[in-house]
Amino acid sequence: MRILIVSDVTGYMRGGVPAEARVLAAGLRARRHEVAYGGDIPIAAEAGVRHFALPARSAQRLGEGVAAALSAFQPDLVHVLAMGSRGLQALRAPLRGRPWVLTCHSIPPHERKLAGWHGSERLHYAARDLRFLPHGLAWRSLLAKRVPPAVVTHSPWVADIVRRHGYPLGRTRCIALGADIEAQPLRAAAGAPIGEAPRFVTVAGIAHTKGQHDALRAMQALRADFPGLSYRMVGEVRDPSYLAHLQALIAQGGLGEHVRIEPDLDEAAKQAALQSADLYLQPSHEEGFCLAYLEAAARVPRLVGTDTGAIRLVSAGDAGMQVVPPRSPQALAAAIRSLLRQPLGADLLPARVQRLRRDFSRRGYLDAHERLYEELVEAPLESRLAPSLSDFA
């Protein structure tokens, strides 16, 4: 099959959509599909994935670029892996009558950044929601009109938003992200209760929706019980104003000797941080899936995450993993305190790794996409066309 993957997210971004694009493109190419990628930079050239340069910041030029890629590559199917509402409107004409699928990682205003009002959740999210209201309404219209022939989400959390926007569940496929989860070396005394100097790690972009400020408040509450605690926040800075807010909170809370923000850690250093952590913390307010939590679960015995994205699915009743409501530093602190004092079975981590390798494998991720592609390519032509008014009667 000839598959064109399209994204308007810059390939220079760490993690997120570009990381998934590389996995999907290289995985499909390894399965003998002909794969091309439309985006600002090549995404997996080393895997034999052809690149079509797409202009940024102009929906009209993006539409023209995709039309040129369609003409040159002649794909059997187009996978729009990430696209803004204006870009989707521009793609309606070139994609009309073709098999295509749209992945919704999140829908505005969710996971959008606003550089301000970090000290008040109510003001920050009210302003954020107002700022992105036009984009949210555009998405609501695209989904209610059933413009994409099929929609992929990576968690029930996003699938529910898609459903509430009027898109039929029967045309929505929830496909869990996969990871290369290898069997981990046994950690000495991994299941024993933790003493007064626990080591915490979070891996997430530095942005308000990732909730690191809640984690800092939880650290303040925990310091009386664990005076030697240390907390490492790993992730690229996506909002400098939020970084400044975190730094101010650290200073105000007297946490300077306990907290490090590390935006430039390479992959090897990040894995070493996870391997040495006593507890992994994911304080996110919003997530489309949260691959970082999944990857940490294979290395860290104890994890606390918020109930967003697929974090509850990854946790799956595991005795070493607790899920709490988002935006609650008190709930984070209580869950952390409980887990640190709780002994864990010696077989917990090996059993968890086995479960994660079964339920969140790259193979399963690619299998699910291939099945969906085949269904769309084999669908009758009339089902690929834009819906008529009778569809909404």
Question: How much is the average pLDDT of 117-129?
Answer: 97
Q: How far apart are CA 167 and CA 141, in angstroms?
A: 10
Question: How much is the average pLDDT of 242-256?
Answer: 97
Q: Name the pTM for this structure.
A: 0.90
pLDDT digits (tens, 9 = 90+) for 34-78: 999 999 999 988 899 999 999 867 788 899 999 999 999 999 999
Judgement on whether residues 367 and 326 belong to the same structural domain of the protein:
no
More reliable by pLDDT, 393 or 106: 106
pLDDT digits (tens, 9 = 90+) for 330-381: 999 999 999 999 999 888 999 999 999 999 999 999 999 999 999 999 987 6
Q: Are 282 and 306 in contact (CB under 8 A)?
A: yes
Judgement on whether residues 7 and 87 belong to the same structural domain of the protein:
yes
Among residues 3, 149, 7, which one has the least CA distance to residue 74?
Answer: 3
Judgement on whether residues 302 and 374 belong to the same structural domain of the protein:
no
- pLDDT value at residue 76: 98
- pLDDT value at residue 382: 56
- pLDDT value at residue 131: 96
**Exposed/middle/buried for residue 227 (C-beta within 10 Å: 0-12, 13-18, 19+):** exposed
- What CATH number corresponds to the domain at position 57? 3.40.50.2000
pLDDT digits (tens, 9 = 90+) for 183-226: 665 564 566 677 889 999 999 999 999 999 999 999 999 999 99
Q: Are 79 and 95 in contact (CB under 8 A)?
A: no
- pLDDT value at residue 327: 97
Judgement on whether residues 217 and 158 belong to the same structural domain of the protein:
no
- pLDDT value at residue 180: 84
Judgement on whether residues 275 and 379 belong to the same structural domain of the protein:
no
| Position 385 confidence tier, pLDDT thresholds 50, 70, 90 | very low
The answer to whether position 184 is within a domain reads no
Judgement on whether residues 173 and 211 belong to the same structural domain of the protein:
no
Q: Is the per-residue pLDDT at 164 higher than 90?
A: yes
Residue type, 99: P
The answer to whether position 390 is within a domain reads no
- pLDDT value at residue 202: 98
The answer to whether position 67 is within a domain reads yes
- Helix runs in the chain, H state only: 16-30, 59-73, 85-95, 121-131, 133-144, 156-164, 212-222, 240-252, 267-276, 291-297, 311-315, 329-341, 348-359, 362-378
The answer to whether position 189 is within a domain reads no
Q: Crossing angle of helices 329-341/212-222, nearest 10°?
A: 50
Q: How far apart are the first and last CA of the chain?
A: 36
Judgement on whether residues 266 and 378 belong to the same structural domain of the protein:
no
Judgement on whether residues 45 and 109 belong to the same structural domain of the protein:
yes
More reliable by pLDDT, 382 or 364: 364
More reliable by pLDDT, 127 or 347: 127
Residue type, 216: L
Judgement on whether residues 213 and 336 belong to the same structural domain of the protein:
yes
The answer to whether position 325 is within a domain reads yes
- pLDDT value at residue 90: 92
What is the average pLDDT score of the chain?
92
pLDDT digits (tens, 9 = 90+) for 222-248: 999 999 999 999 999 999 999 999 999
- pLDDT value at residue 302: 96
Q: How far apart are CA 6 and CA 56, in angstroms?
A: 12
Q: Take residue 371 and report the two structure tokens written for it.
A: 């099945």
Judgement on whether residues 101 and 228 belong to the same structural domain of the protein:
no
Boundaries of domain holding 139 = 2-178+362-384
- pLDDT value at residue 392: 29
| Range in 16-20, 69-73, 100-104 with the lowest mean pLDDT | 16-20
- pLDDT value at residue 283: 98
Domain count, the chain: 2
> What is the DSSP secondary structure assignment for residue 169, as one 8-state letter?
G
The answer to whether position 70 is within a domain reads yes
Judgement on whether residues 58 and 118 belong to the same structural domain of the protein:
yes
Q: Is the per-residue pLDDT at 391 higher than 50?
A: no
More reliable by pLDDT, 142 or 45: 142
Question: How much is the average pLDDT of 93-97?
Answer: 94
Q: Are 36 and 68 in contact (CB under 8 A)?
A: no
The answer to whether position 393 is within a domain reads no
The answer to whether position 192 is within a domain reads no
Q: Apex CA 208: angle with CA 240 and CA 55, to 5°?
A: 65
Judgement on whether residues 15 and 40 belong to the same structural domain of the protein:
yes
